[in-house]
Amino acid sequence: MDYVHLRRQAASLRKGLFDQGYLDEQFYQLEDLQDDASPNFVEEVVTLFFRDSARLMANIDQALDKCVKDFNKLDVYMQQLKGSCTSIGASRMKTDCSAFRECCRDENIEGCMRSFQKIKREHSVLRQKLESYFQLLRQAGPVECATRPNK
């Protein structure tokens, strides 16, 4: 298996995530924390993020489905989601969360619905891209493998 090629693909995917604004500088902070004691720290935190964000988004879906909209509750849920986005460096999602919160403050339900649809799309795209990235990293293995001589 060509580990060098896989590593290059992973690096390219990663660069794209930053260049296209999906991730910001906070993601570097996560990478900086990864060490021998926690060799999969970044993937673990990202996995936690997608699990928790799915839960929060389900709460928001339910709250939006109700006849009487509780904008305070919607704002609280979105504040939590925005916080998680900020913590992993999910930059586009963070911006969309802020837009949703503005709509909550204005009690603009159509605006909330539109921005929430955008958040869901961004969430899905980010998840796909990061899953591909981590899969490539796993296939490429630790850096030492890249220098293993061919037999």
Partner 1 sequence: MVSQEERELHVLAVDDSPVDRALISKLLRSSKFRVTSVDSAQRALELLDLESNVNMIFTDYSMPEMTGYDLLKRVKGSSELKKIPVVIMSSENVPNRICSCLEEGAEDFLIKPVRRDDVSRLCNRVLKC
Among 1, 19, 36, 51, binds partner 1 (CB under 8 A): 51
93 and 123 in contact (C-beta within 8 Å)? yes
Place of tokens 């060509």: 2
Instruction: Note whether 95 binds partner 1 by CB under 8 A.
Output: no
Instruction: Note whether 107 binds partner 1 by CB under 8 A.
Output: no
Instruction: Note whether 31 binds partner 1 by CB under 8 A.
Output: no
Instruction: Note whether 137 binds partner 1 by CB under 8 A.
Output: no
Instruction: Note whether 84 binds partner 1 by CB under 8 A.
Output: yes
Question: Cα(9)–Cα(5) distance, rounded to whole angstroms?
Answer: 6
**What stretch of H or E contains 122?**
helix 109-140
**Closest approach of partner 1 to the CB of residue 26, in Å:** 5
Q: What angle do CA 76, 82, 86 make, to 5 degrees?
A: 145
- Give the tokens for residue 69: 């909209």
Among 4, 5, 15, 33, binds partner 1 (CB under 8 A): 33
Between 34 and 135, CB nearer to partner 1: 34
